[in-house]
Amino acid sequence: MRPTVGFIGLGAMGQALVEQLLAAGYPVIGHNRTKAKAQALLKAGMQWADSPKAATEQSDVVVSMVANDAALRAITQRDDGVLAGLKSGQIYADMSTVSPDLVRELAKKAEQRGGVMLDAPVSGSPVTVRAGKLAFMVAGDETSFEVIKPILLAIGVKATYLGSSGNAAIMKIALNLSIPVQLLAFYEGLVLAEKAGIDREVALEVMLASAIASPALQYRAPFALGLPEEPLFNVTGQGKDLALALELGRNLHVPLPTAAATEPILNATKAAGLADEDVAAIYNVLADMAGLE
């Protein structure tokens, strides 16, 4: 018998993760602030819980994937939240990208209830999940990590243990600061070539066939030709992650010059009304600044 997984947060990423769990034969009890977003998963066999607490009480292992610190506090600390439903010995893994300080705070509260909280953020997007290439970073109690590792590997291909609580959250922040920095540098070159008279599509083809095209750029950089209908990671989310990185850098006295230089471009992209678009929308802002149509 596979353990029942309670899953809280059914946005684009959460939906992709639950799809993989269901396909692997895990019973899933899901909750989302908006039930309408869960309809496809309910048809696929997921059960519904009316609150995070109910999902926790009805599951063996509980998982969450939410947008930010405020959302994580909301699903964990309310009277109908995860912590209120956590059972003695139960494992709770949060896969969100959030502050390591918040993760440690919640891990202590889970421990006080006799449970265990792991920070288990992911490296990838819904595209990565469905391609079977997702990787997990996990921190907290190592024995609990080994217990839920089979569940993680039913979703992705790798799960790396990083030690004490909060370390996985830190690692995810360190990874995510690179996404807009890489994309900004790539698009600066693209706009430069285009402004000089080279066709955008041709320049993009050359750049993606070159040594500068990282795996992250391979699937996101082509959005310069047209933004996706469903963002892989929107500007607001990326801005939140970059802010977390800059805050961590200040606290640790680590200079992050390229991250700091990227933040104003993300802010300009939000100001242009593109906050809900994929982070690749920074191309639109750069092109507009350069006077390209």
DSSP the chain: -PPPEEEE--SHHHHHHHHHHHHTT--EEEE-SSGGGGHHHHHTT-EE-SSHHHHHHT-SEEEE--SSHHHHHHHHHSTTSHHHHPPTT-EEEE-S---HHHHHHHHHHHHHTT-EEEE--EES-HHHHHTT--EEEEBS-HHHHHHHHHHHHHH-SEEEE--STTHHHHHHHHHHTHHHHHHHHHHHHHHHHHHTT--HHHHHHHHHTSTT--HHHHHHGGGGGS--SS-SSBHHHHHHHHHHHHHHHHHHT---HHHHHHHHHHHHHIIIIITTSBGGGHHHHHHHHTT--
Domain ranges of the chain: 5-165, 177-289
Q: Which CATH architecture has domain 5-165?
A: 3-Layer(aba) Sandwich (3.40)
Average pLDDT rounded to a whole number, residues 32-60: 97
- Per residue in 249-274, pLDDT (tens digit) is 999 999 999 999 999 999 999 999 99
The predicted structure's pLDDT at residue 11: 93
In the predicted structure, residue 293 carries a pLDDT above the cut 80? no
- Label residue 17 by pLDDT band (50, 70, 90): very high
In the predicted structure, residue 92 carries a pLDDT above the cut 80? yes
In the predicted structure, residue 22 carries a pLDDT above the cut 90? yes
- Per residue in 191-203, pLDDT (tens digit) is 999 999 999 999 9
In the predicted structure, residue 79 carries a pLDDT above the cut 90? yes
Average pLDDT rounded to a whole number, residues 34-51: 96
- Label residue 242 by pLDDT band (50, 70, 90): very high
Q: Which fold has domain 177-289?
A: N-(1-d-carboxylethyl)-l-norvaline Dehydrogenase; domain 2 (1.10.1040)
Average pLDDT rounded to a whole number, residues 70-96: 97
- Per residue in 211-234, pLDDT (tens digit) is 999 999 998 999 999 999 999 999
What's the mean pLDDT when you consider all of the chain? Answer: 97
- Label residue 177 by pLDDT band (50, 70, 90): very high
In the predicted structure, residue 1 carries a pLDDT above the cut 90? no
In the predicted structure, residue 210 carries a pLDDT above the cut 80? yes
Average pLDDT rounded to a whole number, residues 145-149: 98
- Per residue in 108-124, pLDDT (tens digit) is 999 999 999 999 999 99
